[in-house]
Structure 1
Amino acid sequence: MGGSGGSGANAEKRPNDMLTSWFVRSGWSKGELARQVNRRARQLGAHHISTDTSRVRRWLDGENPREPIPRILSELFSERFGCVVAVEDLGLRPTHRTPASSGVDLPWTGPQTVALMSEFSRSDLMLARRGFLGASLVLSAGPALIEPMQRWLVPSPSTPQEEPEPVASRRPARLSEPELDLLESTTVMFRQWDAQCGGGLRRKAVVGQLHEVTDLLQEPQSEATAKRLFKVAGELAELAGWMSYDVGLQPTAQKYFVLALHAAKEAGEKPLGSYILSSMSRQMIHLGRPDDALELIHLAQYGSRDCAGPRTQAMLYAMEARAYASMGQPGKCKRAVRMAEDTFADAEDFGEPEPDWIRFFSEAELNGENAHSFRDLAYVAGRSPAYASLAEPVMDRAVQLFEKDQEHQRSYALNLIGKATVHLLQREPEQSTVLAGQALDIAKKVRSERVNTRLRKTVDTAVRDFGDVAEVVEITERLAIEMPETVEAV
């Protein structure tokens, strides 16, 4: 049991009630938790870790395990419950973390941003497996996340950039206009692949392209070329974060989002920065942190109010509504929904071309987000039929529009699942299983753990509430056969 002992074995111990509470709710046995800890430790290269049931019992009795055990437990419980479960939440002593290891409190300077993007993308490509940075990378939330992100709006000091020394192996210093155009068009192609096929199919290709762009940024470039390269790097890092989020790599996703925001600042792209913050906000909603999500959205709105187009502003209002819904604030949620609808209506008459990264926010996406806000209000209000009835027609419209859209198959599946949950709220399990079956057909074609997880949760809810209905039994059996759950769900 080397490496998993307590640091204060001789000190008086008290039972760890906080860890015990999470452990009991997880449904795991002591042996299962020990096996998961050992498996994760091996992934991290900590082969000296060998945990058993007696060691787990000692943790529950109050023993403080040494690193990396606390962070492994934090990751395992966070994944189990779909929210951030910090080391402190488990009643374990937090270890001091440097800004670099916390993942988000980074220096806002161009050269360091490039170096960090290069180092992180290289590590991702080399190790390219789930939890690859688990020993040094953790999710940030609360003030530890929000306060560093607020520095996005602080003007950068106007100091002359230092020219890196030329190296014989470097490429030519000047990029041609066609080469820059090709880099930008490749990013558009990657974004289309993600929407159509899910984050699991091309994530490594996006990370590889990001690493190539950071190589270019380390060469001497003109100021105009450097800004375009930082913009490409910001879009690629955001997409790498989004794909990581889609396949369940939450700490990795957050780190990419933060690096993307730094690159967007270097590019002088406030609208892109607001889009990146909206992705971070969506992740926080997914992880059960709507307060953090709302802070991030308000930061995005404040930073881009005078420069983002109506489609981007409408998307931010829709995400604001999602946060308010999860917080159980119906009045503010409905107001944000109306603002999203009104602002989106202005997008049709907007005379300027909008960036490709916001093209996904269509009428279908608007309806889907607003329907999910009403659906979430229904759950927070104790399965309110009134909010479920508000969600139904809006969700119907979203599904109808996505059905005609072959490019955004993942969004189609997510909205089918959303509609299925609305029918469960309305106590209509038969209709819900039809939609779940349609979503299952799509889920088998796209590589998105987010789709798979939501589908499984929806079917689990149907089983819990309507387990004796024949259609529910049938979809449960079909799901088990056609989408068997792996030992380690991401």
Structure 2
Amino acid sequence: MAEKQPNEKLTSWFGRSGWSKGELARQVNRRARQIGAHHVSTDTSRVRRWLDGEQPREPIPKIMSQLFSERFGSVVSIEDLGLRTAVPVSTVESGVDLPWSAPQTVQLISEYSRSDLMLNRRGFLGTSLALTAGTALIEPMQRWLTPNPAGAPTPILAAANGGEQFTGRLSEPELQLLEQTTVMFRQWDAQNGGGLRRKAVVGQLHEVTDLLQESYPEQTTKRLFRLTSELAHLAGWMSYDVGMHPSAQKYYVLALHAAKEAGDRPFGAQILTDMSRQMIHLNRGEDALELIHLAQYGSRDTASPRQQSLLFAMEARAYATIGEVNRCARAVRMAEDTFSDTRPDDNSPGWLKFFTEAELNGENSHSYRDLAYHANRSPLYASMAEPVMQRAVDLFRQDKEHVRSYAFNLIGMASVHLLQNEPRQAVAVAEEAVAIATKVRSERLNTRIRKTTANALQNYADLDSVTQLSDRVVENIPEFVQSG
């Protein structure tokens, strides 16, 4: 990999401007707030990295072009500053840098889902891919924000614009049934984990892409793309839940492409939110933060209060992962304040209804818990996490649909008790989480239980209750063996 070179063009313009690094950072932040990009929060160290050759994310290059143009009274383009808006689109059908066009999106989803069904019988597909991270992941995802290219309609939409006679024969009742099936898959996942019905979801996804090979009226086509996006997202979520991270990422990316074709910005933001969640799980906080900021920026005019609250909560989780205490606390407050504007009957789409008061408390308590880990087992943050986690546990105990989420918060509470040097209380709630884990198929949950139990054993091996819990976990939650 080539060594990053200082940005001589930006350095030259910056030197002539007379601004300090702090002044440029303040102006960028001020202009970002004016255009609604509230996620932009830069500082002098970030400006220094730009001068050293780091490429800032959108919309910062456009903002910098405007600021320097106003400073010098003539147009200073993004290219003049040595910046770029996006790398050229790659046409390779691997990784995440994929063409943003309707026919190729349909083709790629069809081919990938078919390969998954055929090859993953022996775990081949999930292990033959590599997870993409850093700039190689973020820059292709930014193209979700760009308008579709102008020009002739795509073959899929040609009929809707009078280009040919409609060939599809999908009836309204059949389309509604497909949409209802997706809702059912989502309910199964919440109750039983991602491992039980993953292949069924992938199979349904493949069937729907076959339908998109035909031409329909524009509204029907958009509904089919929305359905395709929801199924691909659910396939990604289930793959993530069973530990197939590269496969999960590929499905998420394909789902984002389909959401773009459907013109569904809120759901696109939801996909990016779960991509951020995956990066938090993999301890890649910077990538998680970039993804959630992209989701916030892309849905700034369309997100409901419920979704805005979710976005703030996940932003807090990302900040906690990298130890940004003040920004984490601010995001937690914003999540709570925004959620107060929601109503139980707010007609949220099915994919967003999971984000309840219980889920909000669960996310925020995990943010405090993660800050405690980051701050060398800080008792302060552990004490902040405890009542919020308890509230989440109490609320999820009443929720019979989101069984896996209940177990996650139980094991989260166990980890908080360990931070507070309360091993017996930790064992008591961990036992209940283990009982649930034996009934659902979620490697993500199993991993969390094994990790928390190992932590307890490392620090409290002299307690019989801890060693008994460890034995029970070894016996009932075996190490992951990949399956579809």
Q: TM-score range by the shorter chain?
A: 0.7 to 0.9
Match runs of 1:25-174 below 5 Å: 100=92, 102-129=94-121, 131-133=123-125, 137-158=129-150, 159-162=152-155, 173-174=168-169
Measured against aligned partners, the alpha-carbon deviations of 1:265-287 in whole angstroms (never above 9, x if no partner) come to: 00000000000000100001111
State the partner residue of 1:300: 295
Aligned to 1:59: none
Question: Deviation of residue 99 (structure 1)?
Answer: 5.7
Q: Which amino acid aligns with 2:203?
A: G
Q: Can you give the 5+ residue segments of structure 2 that lack an aligned partner in the other structure?
A: 1-89, 160-165
Match in the other structure for 2:64: none
1:315 aligns with 2:307: no
The residue number in structure 1 matching 2:273 is 278
From 255, 260, 270, the equivalent of 1:260 is 255
Q: Give the partner amino acid of 2:193.
A: G
Q: 1:185 aligns with which of 180, 185, 192?
A: 180
CA distance in 1, matches of 2:127, 2:370: 34
CA deviations over 1:117-175 (Å, ceiling 9, x no partner):
00000011112246423575211000000000000000001331225999xxxx96132
Is 1:379 the equivalent of 2:373? yes
User: Residue 288 of structure 1: SS of its match in structure 2?
Assistant: coil
Other-structure match for 1:232: 227
- Cα offset for 1:318? 0.4
Q: Which residue of 1 aligns with 2:469?
A: 475
Letter in 2 for 1:210: L
Q: Which amino acid aligns with 1:324?
A: Y
Q: Give the alignment's TM-score, normalised by structure 2.
A: 0.77
Structure 2 partner of 1:36: none
Cα distance in 2, alignment partners of residues 469 and 173 from structure 1: 66
Give the distance between the partners of 1:228 and 1:487, measured in 2 at CA.
37
Q: Distance in 1 between matches of 2:214 and 2:93?
A: 27
Q: Quick one: distance in 1 between partners of 2:126 and 2:353? A: 34
Assess, with a 3 A threshold, how the Cα gap between structure 1 residues 385 and 129 changes in structure 2: closer, same or farther: farther
Change (3 A) 1:99 1:161: closer
- Residue 215 of structure 2 corresponds to 220
Distance in 2, matches of 1:434 and 1:135, equals: 36
CA distance in 1, matches of 2:396, 2:155: 49
Distance of 1:489 and 1:211 partners within structure 2: 19
Partner SS for 2:340 = helix
C-alpha deviation, 1:489, in angstroms: 10
Aligned to 2:357: 363
| Structure-1 residue corresponding to 2:286 | 291
CA distance in 1, matches of 2:91, 2:386: 45
**Which residue pairs with 2:71 in the alignment?**
none
The alignment covers a number of residue pairs equal to 388
Please report how far the alpha carbon of residue 221 of structure 1 lies from its aligned counterpart in structure 2 after TM superposition: 1.3
User: Which of 180, 185, 205 is the aligned partner of 1:210?
Assistant: 205
- Whole-Å Cα distance in 2 between the matches of residues 488 and 260 of structure 1? 23
The match for 2:408 is: 414
Q: Distance in 2 between matches of 1:135 and 1:455?
A: 23
2:191 equivalent to 1:199: no
Is contact 1:117-1:259 (8 Å) kept? yes
Q: Tell me how far 1:234 sits from its aligned partner.
A: 0.4
Q: Following superposition of structure 1 onto structure 2, how do residues 320-339 of structure 1 map, counting pairs within 5 Å?
A: 320-339=315-334
User: Which residue of 445, 458, 463 maps to 1:451?
Assistant: 445
Q: 1:363 to 1:107 in 2, by over 3 A?
A: same
Partner Cα separation in structure 2 for residue 142 and residue 481 of structure 1: 38
Root mean square deviation, CA, Å = 2.0
1:287-317: CA deviation from partner (whole Å, max 9, x where unpaired): 1111000000000000101111111111110
The answer on whether the counterparts of 2:396 and 2:402 sit within 8 Å (CA) in structure 1 is yes
CA distance 1:134–1:417, shift in 2 (3 Å):
closer
Structure 1: unaligned runs, 5 residues or longer? 1-97
Aligned partner letter, 1:127:
L
- Scaled by the length of structure 1, the TM-score of the pair is 0.76
